[in-house]
Amino acid sequence: MRQGWKEPQDVKFGCVAKKRLLCSMGLAFDIARRLARPGRSDTNRQGKRTRRSVMERVAVWATAVSVAVVMITLSVVAGFKHDLRAVLTGAAASVSVTSPQSRGVISRIGIDIDERLERLLLSQPDVCISRFTSKEGVIKNDDNMAGTLLKGVDTLYDWSFFADRLTAGRLPRIGGQTRTKDLLLSEDMARRMDIGVDSRVEMIFVDDNGEVRRDRFAVSGLYSTGVEMIDAAVLLTDMRNVQRLCDWPQEHITGYEIWCDDPYRAVSVADSLNEALTELYLDEGIDAEAFSIEAIYPEIFGWLATHDVNAAVMIAIMIVVALLNMTTAMLILVLERSRMIGELRAMGMTNFAVGRVFFWRAAFIALSGTARGAVAGIVICALQYSTGLVTLPSDGYFLTQVPVAFCWGAWGASLAGAMLVIMAAMALPAAFVSRISPAETIRYI
């Protein structure tokens, strides 16, 4: 008997290939991957080996530059915030408790040492306190003079900050039976005043009656913080020296300094203390107020806030640049592959599936550029962190070198956000695919 008709093998193979072409979820990815990494056997119609186009390389490196700039911007802004806060809280504490008139720094009105007040301050979690007395004055020698803030501390003071930044000599001797005249001042001030360790310096003060008072101190050591507003002004000595200059008894001080384990808790600690201090004033008549470091130096933290705006503008500009480069590159790649698009469309691939090929193609370009930019950004930040190669004028930026911080969370979020925005912008090249006619592109095959 006559056997039934059998489907030719080439027709059968073509149908299977077509079904695979239409149904395989990974086909778009495989095509995009092959286009991204052509092998040695990949040749064009003229027999020449294929390679990445100029626009593709431009898109990769434009994305890399944008990513590196974004990472460096975030690192520098975070570094400014971290380093300035660390220096300010190290030199002036996270919170200061003084009379309301002094606003945390200097006042002719002090407060009395009180055990009830100290117990209240120590009731805050993870804090330590010390007493201080401060007075404005002028340091002078034969040829120079400069305005300063003489700060007196007692044995409770934590010297770890200045010990780490000591450049010469030793820390002042504090709290002994014999009151010393040791003085710690900055290396920058010593250079300007032409004095050194063991030098004798004269200081001039004006008391409440307008009378001029003089005192002499011995320079015990020099420090350097890199922040001009501290290096140019703060001198430290035994608190009893400053109390004598203010004509105050030992029980009277300017106030208390509070160091928090987490310096970012300064505002919350100050708010909590002020609520308790209000009750203490009503019950005991102790008039004191807590001031966070942000309240004492509002101009610095306001200046830092403007850097957040600058950083946001810079990041937005770089993302727009990356978007424009990626979109332009993908449009050119679509035009370069118009014949391939026509062939895929003729074989039955839908516009959506073809668009998905170029979506993955854009993803490979974006990932390649992002990876290179991330490596470059981390390397540049690491070099600056270890060498301090890029410096700053301290009179305009407070710090003497560009600070950087390894903010991994912010970096990861920015990179993920940039990738999402770039991939969302690929809708334009994908839409352009639908306008390519298979009949026109394969006419001359």
Q: What is the tens place of the pLDDT at every residue in 66-121?
A: 888 888 988 988 888 888 888 888 888 889 999 887 766 666 788 899 889 999 99
Predicted pLDDT at 301: 83
Read off the pLDDT of residues 280-331 as tens digits, 9 standing for 90 and up: 888 888 888 999 988 888 888 887 788 778 788 888 888 787 777 777 777 7
Q: What average pLDDT score do residues 353-362 get?
A: 75
pLDDT at 186 over 80: yes
pLDDT at 1 over 70: no
Domain boundaries, the chain: 22-83+301-441, 93-297
- Tell me the pLDDT band of 437, cut-offs 50, 70 and 90: low
Phi, psi of 181 (to 5 degrees): -110, 30
Between 10-24, 351-365, 377-391, 411-425, the lowest mean confidence (pLDDT) is in 10-24
The model's pTM is 0.70
Read off the pLDDT of residues 195-233 as tens digits, 9 standing for 90 and up: 889 889 899 988 777 788 889 999 999 998 877 778 888
Predicted pLDDT at 43: 45
Mean residue pLDDT of the chain comes to: 79
Read off the pLDDT of residues 124-167 as tens digits, 9 standing for 90 and up: 888 999 999 988 889 887 778 888 889 999 999 989 999 999 99
Give helix 298-336 / helix 54-92 axis angle, nearest 10°. Answer: 170
